Structure 1
Amino acid sequence: MRLKQALFFLLLLPVISGCSDNDDDTSAGLVGTWRLEAVYYDPGDGSGDFASVESNKIIEFLADGTLISNGDLCTLSEEAGQETRASYNEELSELYVPGCQGELAVMTTLPFVLEGNRLEIYYQCIEGCGHRYKKVSG
């Protein structure tokens, strides 16, 4: 009987040790909710860096290739309040935002970089500029 108990616990050990105390409910990938955490402006000499911001601006990426933001995605605005709907292609690392040039039929393409739970979206500026988001759920 002791041999059976020992064997049972030996078989159960990998299952138990596979559990973690990580309470991070975010998974890899773009689908989920992201909150703006930093803004990047380059003065033209390559010395620009991301600076932390306090913002309620979020983007929710849906599995069907669409996204909804509670802020403007056509500009570097950190403000929440104006809903923006757009689409994305994760393989090409691009967002497609309609209406940035005044016409809904015209799509603006914004490149992005996804690294773990950090998402950087780059805007069309003469010098470098962008937003960094942190994944908060999904």
Structure 2
Amino acid sequence: MKKFILFFAISLTILSCNSDDDAISNETTVVGSWKLIEVYLDPGDGSGDFEPVTSEKIVEFRANGSVLSNGSICQPSPAIGESTSGTYSTEELIIVSEDCVDTELDIQYRLDGNNLILNYPCIEACSEKYVRL
């Protein structure tokens, strides 16, 4: 009987241990500030690749579902100055901005390791790559 109680106590202890794997870390959430580091523009033949850019463009995803940028989030561009804002959906992985009058299509985003990729609705593939600040 003592062995059974000891076995039960050890089993209960092992099963009651928490795993930190269930917690969402900063590295798996889009919330935070991101700096533009590369732009991808495909010429139409599949030969495009991400190219480094020198830019101070920042995109900030806030916990309340809003997204802000010191540059345009409507099209891939390293330029700053034209501030834009919008909202994002963590379920659909899209950004929607009323500031984007030229396009009615949503901007798709995804996390790729420590990078944020924005995929724009272009005829040929075009994207921006950001690094977390």
TM-score category of the 2 structures, normalised to the smaller one: 0.7 to 0.9
Which protein is richer in strand relative to its size?
1
Q: Residue 132 of structure 1 aligns to a residue in which SS?
A: strand
What's the CA shift for 1:97? 1.4
Deviations 1:63-114 (A, max 9, x none): 0110110001112221111111110011211111113225xxx854111121
Q: 2:117 aligns with which of 109, 120, 125?
A: 120
1:111 aligns with 2:108: yes
Aligned residue type for 1:67: V
Identity of aligned residues (%): 40
CA RMSD of aligned residues (A): 1.6
TM-score by length of 1: 0.72
Give the AA of the match of 1:132. K
**2:41 equivalent in structure 1:** 41
User: Structure 2 unaligned runs (5+)?
Assistant: 1-25
Whether the aligned pair in 2 keeps the contact of 1:31 and 1:63 (CA below 8 Å) is yes
Runs (5+) with no aligned partner, structure 1: 1-25
Contact persistence 2:40–2:48 (CA under 8 A): yes
What one-letter code is carried by the residue in structure 1 that aligns with 2:94?
A: E
Runs of 4+, deviation exceeding 4 Å: none
The answer (yes or no) to whether the contact 1:118–1:134 under 8 Å persists in 2 is yes
Distance 2:91 2:42 in 1: 27
- Relative to its length, the structure with more helix (as a share) is 2
The one-letter amino acid paired with 1:33 is S
Amino acid at match of 1:130: S
TM-superposition CA deviations, 1:104-135 (whole Å, max 9, x none): xx854111121232111011111000100111
Specify the code of the residue in structure 2 equivalent to 1:135: R
The alignment status of 1:135 with 2:93, answered yes or no, reads no
User: Within 5 Å, which residues of 2 pair with 1:48-127?
Assistant: 48-101=48-101, 108-127=105-124
Mapped to 2, the partners of 1:76 and 1:67 lie a distance apart of 16
Aligned residue pair count: 108
Whether the 8 Å CA contact 1:95–1:111 is kept in 2: the answer is yes
How does the TM-score come out when normalised to structure 2? 0.75
